[in-house]
Structure 1
Amino acid sequence: MPIFEGIPVETADKYRGGLPDAYGKVAERKISDGDAPCRCCLRPVPKGEEMLVLAYRPFTELQPYAETGPVFLCASPCAPSEKSGLPEILTSPSYLLKGYSSDERIIYGTGQITPTDQVAGYADELLGREDVAFVDLRSAKNNCWQARLIAES
């Protein structure tokens, strides 16, 4: 089973403190309808709770494959659960998985819309390749970044 990583707690806390997002804007504050997936704790932001909406780029530098998109975060401090298996936020029927090299370039041919119950298996398959350093999990409908998958140590 791959390890699902969200936005690091330290980074999420900086956004909560006013750090500008990938577009240089301060995060918008909204109220969750209970369906917004927090990309830090990988659980839904509870209904009625405040959340942040911001542009996130899960790459270390600007380059052609460094996609940016909207994400939600709990406005209050949160942390990933220690629970193994698929994160709670994976409630859609399918997701887009893409493999990336260690220099954060997409590896052509790895992108695949994958049924949710097959996400871990396909990620493990990709992570077993020598040329794949990590896999990004995105919404199959809106292309929003959900989590990064890495191989178990």
Structure 2
Amino acid sequence: MRTSTGYLIQSLPGEVLAEVRRTGRDASGQPPQRRTAEGGEPLRCCLRDAGAGEPLLLFGYAPPLPAGPYREVGPVFAHDGDCPGPDHGPGYPAGWRGRPQVLRAYDRRGRIVGGRLHDGDEPEAVITELLADPAVDRLHSRNVVYGCFMFAVTRR
């Protein structure tokens, strides 16, 4: 998703979700779990919270990083059926404003080179500040409590 601020906010790639559905296996080789949303589960395919009753998949995902010791697999929720992707327009996911997040900064080798906890207010300022460091290649937004990957941020 393009923004006017010099970076891209990237949801779970559709091809990754299609592969999980096609093969019935996640990044760890395990079958995804089918769930019915209780409501509030953060959907990585469309960058919004699920509504109660939506059919979901819960599966292990390896966020975009080069192979190395900082690459990890963690749980993510996505729609169990077709999803058109984010519909909130360019920029930070509107429904996630005000939600505390951790932004982890990675270099081109995929090593952590910094990060920042933010309260969810004015996330663009935090993203811009972290990307101002030339050593930073990308950011991962992470859930504060569970540490789960939420979305990636890369330079345009």
- Measured against the shorter chain, the TM-score band is 0.7 to 0.9
Give the Å deviation of 1:91.
5.5
Give the Å deviation of 1:104.
1.3
Which one of the candidate residues 74, 90, 93 is aligned to 1:87? Answer: 93
Which one of the candidate residues 96, 101, 111 is aligned to 2:102? Answer: 96
| Cα distance, 1:91–1:123 mapped onto 2, change above 3 Å | closer
Is this contact kept in 2: 1:40–1:73, CA < 8 A? yes
| Cα distance, 1:70–1:32 mapped onto 2, change above 3 Å | same
Give the Å deviation of 1:135.
0.4
* Structure with higher strand content: 2
Amino acid at match of 1:76: G
Moved over 4 A (4+): none
Give the Å deviation of 1:60.
4.8
Task: Answer yes or no: is 1:134 the counterpart of 2:138.
Answer: yes
Distance 2:21 2:86 in 1: 16
Give the Å deviation of 1:36.
1.1
Residue 11 of structure 1: aligned partner? 16
Is this contact kept in 1: 2:104–2:115, CA < 8 A? yes
| Cα distance, 1:91–1:26 mapped onto 2, change above 3 Å | farther
Give the Å deviation of 1:84.
1.9
1:1-153 aligned within 5 A: 1=5, 2-78=7-83, 79-81=85-87, 83-90=89-96, 93-107=99-113, 110-151=114-155, 153=156
Residue correspondences, number: 150
Report % sequence identity. 28
SS in 2 for 1:17: helix
Is this contact kept in 2: 1:38–1:89, CA < 8 A? no
| Cα distance, 1:46–1:17 mapped onto 2, change above 3 Å | farther
RMSD: 1.9
Give the Å deviation of 1:19.
4.2
Normalised TM-score (structure 2) = 0.86
Distance 2:121 2:88 in 1: 20
- Any stretches of 5+ residues in structure 2 without a counterpart? none
| Cα distance, 1:74–1:28 mapped onto 2, change above 3 Å | same
